[in-house]
């Protein structure tokens, strides 16, 4: 895929992440339930951890600038970058299996969502961990299997066709 096509395709996935996150999710001050993880996972699968992480960070910054709901805090952008990078580390040029998807989602859930993002919520809201940690744990427990199954099913039926179409001309 040429650099121009790569940039355009990543831009499309970033736009999808912004739409899924800002318009098709449920947002409270301490949790967000949505499907913005799908385009970021696809970006990381197709282009690797660096582009996956960068796309997630760009989507976070752009979404915050266009549709601000809370003041900008760079910790959330770091969490977004790490999410894209972790997907890429586990899924780029590797078999897209339930096990590999599960490893990436579990690490993101524990390290990024429950760890760093909870720290950022504490720093930005000042609420004690006891106020926001239980709802975040419950949300993570519900979303973990949903994310694993969603990425697996969508990649199997949609993503594999994107991959074939993207790289067919190169080989």
pLDDT at residue 143 is higher than 50? yes
C-beta of residue 109 within 8 angstroms of C-beta of residue 157: no
**% the chain with pLDDT above 70:** 90
Q: What is the CATH number that goes with domain 3-160?
A: 1.10.1760.20
Q: Where are the alpha helices (DSSP H) in the chain?
A: 3-22, 37-47, 49-66, 74-91, 98-107, 117-125, 129-154, 160-167
Contacts of 118 (CB under 8 A, 6+ apart): 129, 132, 133, 136
SS3 149: helix
For 123-136, the pLDDT digits (tens) are 888 777 777 788 88
Going by pLDDT thresholds of 50, 70 and 90, the confidence category of residue 164 is: low
For 24-51, the pLDDT digits (tens) are 878 776 667 789 999 999 999 999 999 9
CA distance 133 to 135: 6
pLDDT at residue 102 is higher than 60? yes
C-beta of residue 117 within 8 angstroms of C-beta of residue 139: no
Regarding pTM above 0.85, the answer is: yes
Q: What is the pLDDT of residue 168?
A: 42
Q: What is the pLDDT of residue 30?
A: 61
Q: What is the pLDDT of residue 123?
A: 87
Expressed in angstroms, the distance from the first to the final Cα of the chain is 10
pLDDT: is 1 or 7 the higher one? 7
Q: What is the pLDDT of residue 82?
A: 98
Going by pLDDT thresholds of 50, 70 and 90, the confidence category of residue 170 is: very low
């Amino acid at each position: 895929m040429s650099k121009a096509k790569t940039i355009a395709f990543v831009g499309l996935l970033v736009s999808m992440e912004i739409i899924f996150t800002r318009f098709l999710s449920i947002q409270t001050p301490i949790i967000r339930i949505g499907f913005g993880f799908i385009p970021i996972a696809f970006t990381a699968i197709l282009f690797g951890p660096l582009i996956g992480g960068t796309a997630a960070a760009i989507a976070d910054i752009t979404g915050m600038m266009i549709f601000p709901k809370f003041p900008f805090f760079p910790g959330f952008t770091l969490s977004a970058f790490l999410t894209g990078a972790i997907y890429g580390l586990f899924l780029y040029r590797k078999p897209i299996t339930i096990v590999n998807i599960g490893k990436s989602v579990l690490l993101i859930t524990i390290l990024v969502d429950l760890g760093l993002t909870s720290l950022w919520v504490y720093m930005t809201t000042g609420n004690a961990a006891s106020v926001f940690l239980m709802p975040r744990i419950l949300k993570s427990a519900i979303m973990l299997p949903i994310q694993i199954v969603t990425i697996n099913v969508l990649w199997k039926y949609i993503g594999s066709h994107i991959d074939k179409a993207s790289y067919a001309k190169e080989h």
